[in-house]
Amino acid sequence: MDKLDIPQGTLDLMILTILVREPMHGYGISQRLATLSHDSFQVNPGSLFPSLYRLEQDGQLKAEWRPSENNRNAKFYKLTASGRRQLEQHRRRWDRIAFAIASVLEGA
């Protein structure tokens, strides 16, 4: 199946959503994103890492170095309290957008 471009402004929302379950490292996030989107989204590390850094700078993510499942030291990102709040806001906004778009499409 062809890959889709990640819609503008939704990468942060997806990163936060993925991290709500458990802390993860960069590779893990990109893999989970691919799995959850049934391989429709393939995030480019050139976009993923800048996003992770920005979210960390804004205090929505916190990072710590610890061994990964295959014993390689990796940087794990974890949601902070402010990240959680941000996620809820993002989520509500996205739900409204999705509902609105669906309504328009059905109504037409």
Judged by the rule CB under 8 A, the positions of this chain that interact with other proteins are 25-28, 31, 44-47, 49-50, 53-54, 56-59, 68, 70, 72-75
Q: Is the dihedral of CA 62, 67, 69, 72 positive or negative?
A: positive
Q: Min. distance of Cβ 74 from other proteins in angstroms?
A: 4
Neighbours of 16 (CB within 10 A): 21
Please state, in angstroms and rounded to a whole number, the distance separating the CA atoms of residues 80 and 74.
19
The smaller minimum CB distance to other proteins, of residues 14 and 76, is found at: 76
State how far Cα 89 lies from the chain centre.
Answer: 14
Please state, in angstroms and rounded to a whole number, the distance separating the CA atoms of residues 33 and 45.
12
Q: Min. distance of Cβ 59 from other proteins in angstroms?
A: 5
The smaller minimum CB distance to other proteins, of residues 37 and 68, is found at: 68
The smaller minimum CB distance to other proteins, of residues 54 and 100, is found at: 54
